[in-house]
Amino acid sequence: MSITYKDAAGIEGMRTAGRLAAEVLDHLTPFIKPGITTREIDQLAAEYMKKQGTLSATLGYQPAGYPPYPASLCTSVNNVVCHGIPNEKPLKKGDIVNVDVTVIKDGWYGDTSRMFLVGEASIAAKRLVQITYEAMWHGIVQVKPGVRLGDIGWQIQKFAESNGFSVVREFCGHGIGRNFHEEPQVLHYGKPGTLEELKPGMTFTIEPMINAGRREVKEFGNDGWTIVTKDHSLSAQWEHTVLVTDTGYEVLTLSAGSPPPPAFVNK
Binding residues: 83, 100, 111, 174, 181, 207, 239
- Report yes or no: 190 and 154 within 8 Å, Cβ to Cβ: yes
- Are 112 and 26 within 8 A, CB to CB? no
Residues comprising the binding site for substrate? Answer: 83, 181
C-alpha to C-alpha distance for 176 and 173, rounded to whole angstroms: 9
- Do 86 and 39 meet the contact criterion of CB atoms below 8 Å apart? yes
Of the candidates 206, 185, 221, 209, the one whose C-alpha atom is nearest the C-alpha of residue 251 is: 206
- Residues forming the annotated binding site for a divalent metal cation? 100, 111, 174, 207, 239
- The Cα–Cα gap between 105 and 22 comes to 13
Coil, helix or strand for 183?
strand
